Structure 1
Amino acid sequence: MSNTDFLLAVEDLSVSFDGFKAIDSLNLYLERGELRVVIGPNGAGKTTLLDLICGKTKETAGSIKFRNEEITNLAEFRRVRKGIGRKFQTPSIYENLSVAQNLEVSFPRGRSVFGALAYRQDAEVADRVRAVADEIGLAASLDLEAGLLSHGQKQWLEIGMLLMQDPELLMLDEPIAGMSVREREVTAELLDRICRNRSMIVIEHDMAFVERIAHKVTVMHQGKILAEGPMAQVQSDPRVIDVYLGH
């Protein structure tokens, strides 16, 4: 496959902080419709990699192409408009607003939170809110104040807020942290559904969950890719066992 055929192509990417190379000449290629899980020990550079892709952090060297378009010099908000959505580890929702209002304010129309409260929904927004609520399993909770949701439901709502923007690439950082066993399974099913027509990069430590969702696994160590491939192949790699799974 040519490098131009990938949804995301990261090439020779590096970033240094005070002389420390957090990401070191890294190459990563993501196909359309792929769910890639990135694993590795703490400090391996996993979150920094996502920060670079979404534009939160500026690279020292290298290239990031999305849909074969160079985005390395684009601001973070412009990358969002191109179709890249990022969810951080801690849920970032408006707890005093309803589930429906949280979804509505995420619709890409430039509305503020306060404007959304007084905004009269048009059919397009209302339809999108209902469709996303159904996809994330919160259709029965649209009128519920978001602060009353369970931890897992808050995570799903934030994923829904990203889906309102209709991104082509979603990036999630430890999406099942703190979830119950049942919530983890529901989340796995949700990610399966999302990847039917989108691509995704997920950082995760729970190996059972990784095995459940990953199309392909990338193992990072000291800012580089140590190994990459199907979960079974990665799990049996002596280098991976030595630096990560064996600890």
Structure 2
Amino acid sequence: MSHQAIGVEMPKPVLLVEDLTVSFDGFKAVNNLTMYIDPNEVRVVIGPNGAGKTTVLDLICGKTRATSGKIQFKGKELMGMSEHAIVHAGVGRKFQTPSIYENLTVFENLEMSFPRGRSVFGALFFKRTPDVIDRVKAIAAEIFLTDMLDQTADLLSHGQKQWLEIGMLLMQDPELVMLDEPVAGMSVSEREKTALLIRKICEGRSVLVIEHDMEFVKTIADKVTVLHQGQILAEGKMEDVQSNPKVIEVYLGH
């Protein structure tokens, strides 16, 4: 896409969400939500339980169908696309519980996620070519599992399993990575490493994170969106959001 030089042009958002609404039996879980995520941005969505945070990820990745509104990724409308097509377009998502293959090694888990190995046909004729091996090793280094490549995944700690699943996403090289509570249940040192990992992931791609741990949010977020009852209550830098009276009221009121 060519950017015409008219003064300083703002980068086009990677993800554009406008007037997004989804109703379940008349209850609006997400209500008229508008949000723009920029290239290389780490956006963290926070809010009390039931605010609609996970539903927003479900809508973006096609797991749930919106009632109205639009979701565009790099200018392409995602609404109406299948989950598989959305992944193919460059949107990767990690759920709260890791879905890894416990009986396979770390290497095999990563290898399985290489785009060529995704289809049944691809998996049958999948060759462990140098480009696959290089990619696995590069991702393993990023997710702190270089020394664990030959271990079966069931031997990993909870935090390492979370990293492995993030690595499986990165193998597909998505341009938008969505993580649902990535540090839940992690030790302090694992949280610190995960913060480093997320800051590194956003070099060259955008990251959308749902999180409860405020200290963790502070270390990773470029921008924070506060959801309450399916609507945006506040948005901006963490320090501005934290001192916002409406946000304080919602959090202290719960």
**What TM-score range do you get, normalising by the shorter chain?**
over 0.9
Task: Report the AA paired with residue 123 of structure 1.
Answer: P
1:91-240 matches, within 5 Å, as 91-111=98-118, 119-240=126-247
- Alignment partner of 2:114: what SS? coil
Once the two structures are superposed, what CA deviation does each residue of 1:109-152 show, in whole Å capped at 9, x if it has no partner?
14468985984301111111111111111111111101000010
Aligned-pair identity (%)? 66
Unaligned stretches of 5+ in structure 2? 1-7
Residues 91, 63 of structure 1: alpha-carbon distance in 2 compared, 3 angstrom cutoff: same
State the TM-score, normalizing by the size of structure 2: 0.93
Q: Give the deviation of 1:71 after TM superposition.
A: 1.4
Task: Give a deviation string over 1:218-237, Cα, whole Å, max 9, x none.
Answer: 00000000000000000000
- 1:111–1:68 Cα change, 3 Å: closer
Describe the superposition over 1:47-88 as per-residue Cα deviations: whole angstroms up to 9, x where unpaired. 000000010000000000100111111111101001000000
SS in 2 for 1:190: helix
For the aligned residue pairs, the C-alpha RMSD in angstroms reads 1.9
User: CA–CA distance in 1 between the matches of 2:252 and 2:105?
Assistant: 41
The match for 1:85 is 92
Q: Which runs of 4+ in 1 moved over 2 A?
A: 1-4, 110-120
Equivalent pairs counted in the alignment come to 247
SS in 1 for 2:17: strand
For the pair 1:65 / 2:72, whether they are aligned, the reply is yes
**TM-score, normalising length from structure 1?**
0.95
Q: Equivalent residue for 1:25?
A: 32
- Match of 1:234, SS state, is helix
Q: Secondary structure at the match of 1:50?
A: helix
Provide structure 1 residue ranges, at least 5 long, that are not aligned to the other structure: none
